Amino acid sequence: MKVLANDGISRSGIELLEDAGFEVIVTKVAQEQLPKFLNEEKIEVICVRSATKIRKELIDACPSLKIIGRGGVGMDNIDVDYARKKSLHVINTPTASSSSVAELVFAHLFGGVRYLYDSNRNMPLTGDTEFKDLKKNYSGGSELRGKTLGIIGMGRIGSEVAKIALGIGMKVIGSDDHVGETNITLEFYNDQVVQVPIKTEPIGDLIKHSDFITLHVPAQNKPLLGKMEFDQMKDGVGIINTSRGGVIDEVALVEALADGKVSFAGLDVFENEPTPAVQILMDQRISLSPHIGAATKEAQERIGIELAQQIISIYQKETA
């Protein structure tokens, strides 16, 4: 039984699979070469992240495939419904990267309210000649404590974001199409536990009441936040997107940044990945990262283990 981890897999995941009798191949195969490679090697399981695409044509061309594993949450790079109609198992790792993404949200937030995204660009250029001017420019920051964070999408990642927000003294409001109320569990030293109930509300209400807004939703057919939504927000709101490109209208975002409606934005995902728009990359009011939400050592370890355990479980059930 062969597993191709085309976008990589953690050593712990490899060891679990090998101990269960699988041969794990970690060679990176180019997208256009995948059908030939999968057929020649008789690959039964392919594991991918976001780089490799598993579309209808590939599924049809590779009859040996039995399992498609996505290391991460979103599966928009896989034709999931079609694969399942063809009796393939399609799995992902919805819990493994939640903490990593949530922490990146706050990396952008903390950097945003203290202008670090801009300071880090300008200090190397003029820090030795314009130190006092730069100090004056960046001395008007604000605290997150006491501010209201609106979380659009109260799934696993949104809930992890809420935990951190509550932990640093922020007020939290959420919006979700499926979740009406959720309990956020805060765990402290000596096994102390506090539960905080959060009721969700429509996006239209959330955007009016939030000092900062962060999105944690799957890919959308159209942006959730566009010009109309920006116009309804508080002046000086901060926007963070670590979910999927396209859930924010980037043209409207740039306009809202230019007129001061939005004070700063933090983007880990973009409409045109892997070639983000130049006006986004060059805007000094945007904190930028290259889709690294789940890219921590800890998350990748958990992802590899979770994928391996699911693959092993599927085979055990089918051979029982």
Residues 89 and 238 placed together within one structural domain of the fold: no
- What percent of the chain lies above the pLDDT cut of 90? 93
Residues 105 and 86 placed together within one structural domain of the fold: no
Residues 138 and 104 placed together within one structural domain of the fold: yes
Residues 219 and 282 placed together within one structural domain of the fold: yes
pLDDT digits (tens, 9 = 90+) for 86-138: 999 999 998 899 999 999 999 999 999 999 999 999 999 999 999 999 999 99
Residues 186 and 272 placed together within one structural domain of the fold: yes
Confidence bin at 320 (pLDDT 50/70/90): confident
Place of tokens 């799995």: 91
Residues 61 and 126 placed together within one structural domain of the fold: no
Residues 312 and 249 placed together within one structural domain of the fold: no
Residues 132 and 169 placed together within one structural domain of the fold: yes
Residues 80 and 166 placed together within one structural domain of the fold: no
Using DSSP bridges, classify how beta strands 23-25 and 2-5 pair: parallel, antiparallel or unpaired. parallel
Residues 198 and 168 placed together within one structural domain of the fold: yes
Q: What is the pLDDT of residue 36?
A: 97
Q: What is the pLDDT of residue 167?
A: 94
Q: What is the pLDDT of residue 74?
A: 85
pLDDT digits (tens, 9 = 90+) for 204-232: 999 999 999 999 999 999 999 999 999 99
User: What's the domain count of the chain?
Assistant: 2
Q: What is the pLDDT of residue 73?
A: 87
Q: Is the pLDDT of residue 178 over 90?
A: no
How does DSSP assign 148-169, residue by residue? EEEEE--SHHHHHHHHHHHHTT
Q: What is the pLDDT of residue 318?
A: 87
Residues 44 and 69 placed together within one structural domain of the fold: yes
pLDDT digits (tens, 9 = 90+) for 3-14: 999 999 999 999
- Mean pLDDT, residues 275-302: 96
How does DSSP assign 84-108, residue by residue? HHTT-EEEE-TTTTHHHHHHHHHHH
Q: Is the pLDDT of residue 50 over 90?
A: no
- CB of 318 closer than 8 Å to CB of 28: no
Q: What is the pLDDT of residue 213?
A: 98
Burial track 1-26 (b if 16+ CB lie within 10 A, e otherwise): bebbbbbbbbeebbebbeeeebebbe
Measured distance CA(260)–CA(286) in Å, rounded: 13
Q: Which residues are catalytic?
A: 244, 273, 291
pLDDT digits (tens, 9 = 90+) for 250-267: 999 999 999 999 999 999
Residues whose CB is less than 8 angstroms from the CB of residue 91 and which lie 6 or more positions away in sequence, other chains included: 67, 68, 69, 70, 307, 310, 311, 314
CB atoms within 10 A of CB 309: 16
Task: Look at phi and psi of residue 133 and say left if phi exceeds 0, alpha if psi is from -120 to 50, else beta.
Answer: alpha
Which CATH number do you get for residue 146?
A: 3.40.50.720
Q: What is the pLDDT of residue 236?
A: 98
- CB of 303 closer than 8 Å to CB of 294: yes
Domain span at residue 146?
Answer: 98-288
- Mean pLDDT, residues 284-300: 95
Q: What is the pLDDT of residue 283?
A: 96
Residues 26 and 112 placed together within one structural domain of the fold: no
Place of tokens 């290391």: 71
Per the prediction, the chain carries an average pLDDT of 96
Cis peptide before 274 (omega within 30 of 0): yes
